[in-house]
């Protein structure tokens, strides 16, 4: 029987990242991949291709084809810069002290509140184009620099503006519990009331978020406060994720696991019981080397414990103007290997399939498997490890396909 393809890739080395393919990177050398109606409809060895007709045949000349990259944790919607704080930190003031003195997240909140929706949309779009040009086809964006309903909605609409262009897949996360806004100083529980009783219901009703996140930290919110946020999210049918154990161990990862969170993120200070709880709940560990590097942290996340308990590890840029002014996935892949001892295969899995899992999208994207969206990148490289090795990888100028369409 003849198979019909819109696009057929031939002479490709496939890094399928599929756990069903028992080679490193799920590699299929001299492979072929067929696409129909935006979906992958055939994957295998070129020599096993059935009889076919294809509108376009793309000869990959033995370059590597990988799933589109997934950046599952960013704060891409923001106004202003924090270069001044970067200088302050280099002169010896800590991230936490800057935050306590009204800087940090709050300085970006001030700039973001003041920005027009139009400017915020255009800036977010510009950043998203950079991300897409680097091979990212799925990108998460958090709110959390508004901390009032109006600005949180403005941020989520800016994320939706990018989503509606169809350039790449966007996941919008509501992060109202990111920091205490100055007008609620000394009244954190009242602010959590606002998040739970006003913000989450409106955002859920307007369908502006795919998940709810929080910052569980001594400069953020306590586990008791985050529990209330998670309960409100659950009531409105939204999955949760959490910034947990970044600067201290608050038991956030355990709490996230208790709520079946998609992910717990950062995790430098997590203990073994927290890792075990995540394993039992199937919660993904999102590791963010960009923030670790930028803040000059010294305690590394316990990668061996995640391996021991088989907690899937994802990697993301955490792109934001404060703790991780890094949009390049290649820098993150490299940092994960050099700073945390990821193998290149673990790193690539972390920015494809496990990134998708951290967003609840593992059945839609993240590996080259029949039935998934045809989100693909064609890389002019000889081995997949090069994606972790060339730190300034944008010069690789990959050909990118989102839902089967060449970008
Ligand atoms: O993931 N930890 C809290 N949130 C961000 C930092 C945001 C900021 O500093 O503006 C993070 O590192
Ligand atoms: Fe973050």
Confidence at residue 167, expressed as pLDDT on a 0 to 100 scale: 98
pTM of the model: 0.97
Pocket probe mutation, ligand 1, options 318, 321, 327, 332, max atoms within 8 Å of Cβ: 318
Indicate if 160 and 206 belong to the same structural domain.
yes
Closest of 167, 170, 152 to residue 72, by C-alpha? 170
pLDDT digits (tens, 9 = 90+) for 156-182: 999 999 999 999 999 999 999 999 999
Residue 302 and residue 237 share a domain = yes
Do 19 and 147 fall into the same domain? no
Q: What's the angle, vertex CA 83, arms to CA 82 and CA 87, rounded to 5?
A: 120
Kind of pairing between the strands at 284-287 and 313-315: parallel
Average pLDDT along the chain: 97
Burial string for 278-297 (b: 16+ CB within 10 Å, else e) reads bbebebbbbbbbbbbbbbeb
Contact predicate 268/301, CB 8 Å: yes
What's the CA-to-centroid distance between 167 and ligand 1, angstroms?
26
162 and 37 in a common domain: no
In tens, the pLDDT along 10-34 reads: 999 999 999 999 999 999 999 999 9
Q: Is a pLDDT exceeding 70 seen at residue 5?
A: yes
CATH of the domain at 140: 3.20.20.140
- Check whether 117 has a pLDDT greater than 70: yes
Q: Is 90 exceeded by the pLDDT of residue 292? A: yes
pLDDT of residue 394: 57
Q: Which residues contact 150 (CB under 8 A, 6 or more apart)?
A: none
Please give the structure tokens belonging to residue 348. Answer: 């690539």
Centre of ligand 2 from the C-alpha of residue 9, in Å: 37
What average pLDDT does the segment 108-117 reach? 98
> What burial letters (b/e) apply to 213-244, b meaning 16+ CB within 10 Å?
bbbbbebbbbbebbbbbbebbeeeebbbbbbb
pLDDT at 100: 85
Count of all residues that appear for the chain in the document: 407
- 122 and 58 within one domain: no
> Within a 10 A sphere around the Cβ of 201, how many other Cβ atoms?
13
Separation of alpha carbons 37 and 5, rounded Å: 8
Q: Is residue 362 included in any domain, yes or no?
A: no
Count of structural domains within the chain: 2
* pLDDT recorded at residue 393: 76
Half-sphere exposure of 365 (CA within 13 A, CB side): 33
pLDDT level of residue 397 (50, 70, 90 thresholds): low
Same domain, 51 and 186: no
Q: In whole angstroms, give the CA distance from residue 365 to residue 164.
A: 18
Residue 19 structural domain: 3-67+367-406
Joined tokens for residue 104: 């940090």
Same-domain check for residues 194 and 183: yes
What integer is the mean pLDDT of 233-237? 98
Please indicate, yes or no, if residue 346 is contained in any of the structural domains. yes
The whole-angstrom separation of Cα 313 and Cα 342 is 10
User: How close is the Cα of 39 to the center of ligand 2, in Å?
Assistant: 31
**How close is the Cα of 272 to the center of ligand 2, in Å?**
22
For residue 105, the ligand 1 atom closest to its alpha carbon is: 10
Per-position DSSP letters for 240-268, written without gaps between them: BEEEESSSS--SHHHHHHHTT-SEEEE-T
Taking Cα atoms as reference points, which of 378, 380, 379, 375 lies closest to residue 405?
Answer: 375
Check whether 135 has a pLDDT greater than 70.
Answer: yes
What local confidence, expressed as pLDDT, does residue 316 receive? 99
| Residue identifier of the C-alpha nearest atom 12 of ligand 1 | 323
* Residue 323 CB less than 6 A away from ligand 1: yes
pLDDT of 1 reads: 87
pLDDT digits (tens, 9 = 90+) for 61-107: 999 999 999 999 999 999 999 999 999 999 999 988 998 888 899 99
Query: Are 376 and 317 in the same domain?
Result: no
Residue 193: which residues within 8 A CB-CB, separation 6 or more?
A: none
How many other CB atoms sit within 10 Å of the CB of residue 196? 22
* pLDDT surpasses 60 at 273: yes
User: Mean pLDDT, to the nearest integer, of 286-300?
Assistant: 97
Q: Of all residues in the chain, what percent carry a pLDDT higher than 90?
A: 96
Task: Give the span between the Cα atoms of 106 and 99, in whole angstroms.
Answer: 7
Kindly state whether residues 236 and 298 are assigned to the same domain.
yes
pLDDT band at 396; cut points 50, 70, 90: low
- Contact (Cβ atoms closer than 8 angstroms) between residue 9 and residue 32: yes
Question: Do 292 and 235 share a structural domain?
Answer: yes
Q: What is the mean pLDDT of residues 322-330?
A: 97
Residues 264 and 397 placed together within one structural domain of the fold: no
- 75 C-beta closer than 6 A to ligand 1: yes
Q: What torsion do the CA atoms of 295, 301, 303, 309 make, to the nearest 10 degrees?
A: -150
CATH number of the domain bearing residue 49: 2.30.40.10
Q: Are strands 27-36 and 3-15 parallel, antiparallel or unpaired?
A: antiparallel
Instruction: Check pLDDT > 60 for residue 293.
Output: yes
Whether residues 322 and 376 share a domain: the answer is no
Residues 6+ apart with CB under 8 A from 218: 96, 247, 248, 250
Q: What pLDDT is recorded for position 395?
A: 61
Pick from 95, 144, 242, 291 the residue to mutate for probing ligand 1's pocket: most ligand atoms within 8 Å of its CB: 291
């Amino acid at each position: 029987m003849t198979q019909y393809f819109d696009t057929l890739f031939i002479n490709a080395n496939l890094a399928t990242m599929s756990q069903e393919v028992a080679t490193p990177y799920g590699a299929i050398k001299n492979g072929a991949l067929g696409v129909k109606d935006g979906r992958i409809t055939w994957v295998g060895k070129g020599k096993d291709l059935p009889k076919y007709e294809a509108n376009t045949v793309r000869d990959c000349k033995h370059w590597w084809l990988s799933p589109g990259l997934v950046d599952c944790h960013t704060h891409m919607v923001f106004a202003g810069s924090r270069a001044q704080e970067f200088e302050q930190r280099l002169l010896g003031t800590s991230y936490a002290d800057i935050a306590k003195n009204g800087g940090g997240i709050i300085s970006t909140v001030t700039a973001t509140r003041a920005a027009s929706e139009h400017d915020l949309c255009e800036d977010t779009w510009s950043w998203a184009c950079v991300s897409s040009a680097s091979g990212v086809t799925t990108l998460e964006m958090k709110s959390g620099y508004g901390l009032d309903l109006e600005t949180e909605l403005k941020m989520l609409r800016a994320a939706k503006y990018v989503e509606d262009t169809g350039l790449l897949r966007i996941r919008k996360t509501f992060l109202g519990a990111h920091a205490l806004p100055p007008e609620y100083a000394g009244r954190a529980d009242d602010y959590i009331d606002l998040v739970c009783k006003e913000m989450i219901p409106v955002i859920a009703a307007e369908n502006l978020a795919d998940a709810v996140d929080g910052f569980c930290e001594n400069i953020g919110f306590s586990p008791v406060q985050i529990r209330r946020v998670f309960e409100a999210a659950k009531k409105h049918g939204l999955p949760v994720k959490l910034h947990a154990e970044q600067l201290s161990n608050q038991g956030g990862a355990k709490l996230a696991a208790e709520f079946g969170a998609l992910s717990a993120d950062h995790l430098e200070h997590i203990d073994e019981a927290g890792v075990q709880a995540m394993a039992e709940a199937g919660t993904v560990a999102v590791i963010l080397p960009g923030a670790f590097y930028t803040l000059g942290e010294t305690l590394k996340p316990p990668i061996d414990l995640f391996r021991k308990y088989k907690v899937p590890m994802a990697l993301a840029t955490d792109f934001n103007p404060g703790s991780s002014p890094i949009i390049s996935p290649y820098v993150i892949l490299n940092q994960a290997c050099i700073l945390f001892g990821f193998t290149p295969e673990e790193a690539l899995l972390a920015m494809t399939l496990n990134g998708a899992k951290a967003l609840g999208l593992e059945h839609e994207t993240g590996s080259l498997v029949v039935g998934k969206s045809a989100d693909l990148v064609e890389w002019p490289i000889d081995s997949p490890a090069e994606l972790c090795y060339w730190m300034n990888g944008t010069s690789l100028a990959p050909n990118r396909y989102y839902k089967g369409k060449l970008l």
